[in-house]
Amino acid sequence: MGSFVIREKVVLASSSPSRKMLLERAGMDFEVVVSGVDEDVPESFTPAQAVEALCARKAEAVAPLRPGRAIIAADSVVAIDGRILGKPEDDEGAKAMLRLLSGRTHKIYTGVCLLAGGRKEVFHQVTDVKFYDLTDQEIAAYVGMGESRGRAGSYGIEGIGVVLVESIVGDYSNIVGLPVAETIRRLRAML
């Protein structure tokens, strides 16, 4: 792979199994260090402002734990009509979110903060996702599988949730939780 490979071991400041999977598939050597930061942001923040603030907060919390190491931190939100949809509190909340997304296009925002070589870079990507029209039975069956628990927007595209999606415009890996190609290219330029 030559120039695609980042030779040094980096730190992923995230507990997300999806982000871990994406970096593993990209051949990255990394260690997971969870930041444990407060993830509240002002309600006035746009989705882009929210993900950029949160990923920077995560990276800066982990940096002192691994001095001198390159750090990747990310945060993703689902937004529709400019409103951020968080993780559902319960199965009924998940059903309500999926009904809201049914037959419509929503946006996935992922913010990434890179710390390397004494520099900091923060950026975000947006991917549009259109859902099929979903019946109440389809929604109930999907939520009943448990995949919507703990997931922003109540679904995971890398799992069974892929059958909910009619189309995407943008980077698929951004929907999963990390725009891998852009992240690696930017990180390589910093090292």
Question: Tell me: the pLDDT tens digits for 90-121?
Answer: 999 999 999 999 999 999 999 999 999 899 99
* Active site residue ranges: 75
Q: Which residue has the higher pLDDT, 158 or 11?
A: 11
Is the Cβ–Cβ distance between 74 and 84 less than 8 Å? no
What separation in angstroms does the CA of 100 have from each of 92, 134, 153? Answer: 13, 10, 10
pLDDT score, position 135: 97
The answer to whether residue 2 scores a pLDDT higher than 60 is no
pLDDT score, position 170: 96
pLDDT tens string 24-67:
999 899 999 998 888 888 889 999 999 999 999 999 999 999 99
- The rounded distance, in Å, linking the Cα atoms of 96 and 92 is 6
Question: Which residues are CB-neighbours of 146 under 8 A, at least 6 positions away?
Answer: none
- Residue with tokens 């800066």, as numbered in its chain: 60
pLDDT-derived band at 5 (thresholds 50, 70, 90) equals low
Map out the domains of the chain as residue ranges.
Answer: 2-190
pLDDT tens string 128-175:
999 999 999 999 999 999 999 888 899 988 889 999 999 999 999 999
Question: Counting Cβ atoms within 10 Å, is residue 12 exposed (0-12), middle (13-18) or buried (19+)?
Answer: buried
- The rounded distance, in Å, linking the Cα atoms of 31 and 11 is 5
Give the fold, CATH level 3, of 2-190.
Maf protein (3.90.950)
User: Model pTM?
Assistant: 0.91
The answer to whether residue 3 scores a pLDDT higher than 90 is no
Backbone torsions φ then ψ of 24, nearest 5 degrees: -60, -45
Neighbour-count burial for 141-169, b at 16+ CB within 10 Å, e otherwise: ebbeeebbeebbbbbbbbeebeebbeebe
- The rounded distance, in Å, linking the Cα atoms of 52 and 112 is 7
Could you give the angle at which helices 136-144 and 91-101 cross, rounded to 10 degrees?
Answer: 140
pLDDT-derived band at 8 (thresholds 50, 70, 90) equals confident
Q: What DSSP string runs through 22-56? A: HHHHTT--EEE----------TT--HHHHHHHHHH
